[in-house]
Amino acid sequence: MANELSNLKPPAGSTRKRMRVGRGEGSGKGKTSGRGQKGQGARGTVARGFEGGQMPLQRRLGKRGFVNIFAKSYATVRLDLIAARFAEGEIVTIEGLKDRGLVKKVGKNGVKVLGNGDLAHALTIQAHKFTQSAVAKIEAAGGKVEELTA
């Protein structure tokens, strides 16, 4: 017999006939159909996680993790991206970064310049925070760092 879709069937012993409940006492699942006598389970469906009015487990347990409400959040900008979008001698402001698509939304505490990549020409960069490597690279290229207050 060829392996065709019309000839496929599961291996012997891998499937069982479904239980037909409520089809007479002789079936083993007649009368109450395996639901027992009276009560909530016999009368209707019970919502998942319902514990009979007791506070459910998922509400008794705390939420996972921790959110530090005092954490500082900055919008970050890489130095190599600034170098690619600004010409020599330009003053890089927060508005300029937004206009050129480097910063979508200013963070709660402002903008931070990261020292990724290299800076070939001198720029004056205004931001709220700078990494040490960013400051070193900006000053090495002959530029200036202006730290803003948030």
DSSP string, 9-53: -PPTTS--PPP--SS-GGGSS-TTTTS-SSSHHHHS---TT-BTT
Mark whether 52 and 87 lie in a shared domain: no
Mark whether 59 and 79 lie in a shared domain: no
What CATH code is carried by the domain that includes residue 89?
3.100.10.10
Q: Which residue has the tokens 């007649």?
A: 30
Mark whether 37 and 91 lie in a shared domain: no
Mark whether 83 and 48 lie in a shared domain: no
Q: What is the pLDDT of residue 3?
A: 79
Tell which residue, 33, 31, 32, has the closest CA to residue 20. Answer: 33
Mark whether 86 and 104 lie in a shared domain: yes
Mark whether 86 and 126 lie in a shared domain: yes
60: containing domain: 21-65
As to burial, measured by CB atoms within 10 angstroms (0-12 exposed, 13-18 middle, 19+ buried), residue 37 is exposed
Q: What is the pLDDT of residue 41?
A: 85
Note whether residue 10 is domain-resident: no
Mark whether 103 and 128 lie in a shared domain: yes
User: Rounded to the nearest 5 degrees, what angle is found at the Cα of 115, between the Cα atoms of 110 and 121?
Assistant: 105
Q: What is the pLDDT of residue 1?
A: 60
Q: What is the pLDDT of residue 150?
A: 63
Mark whether 90 and 139 lie in a shared domain: yes
d(CA 7, CA 121): 74
pLDDT per residue of the chain (150 residues) written in tens, 0 to 9: 677 899 899 999 999 999 999 999 999 999 999 999 998 889 988 889 999 899 999 999 888 888 899 999 999 999 999 999 999 999 999 999 999 999 998 888 999 999 999 999 999 999 999 999 999 999 999 999 999 986
Domain end marker among 43, 65, 87: 65
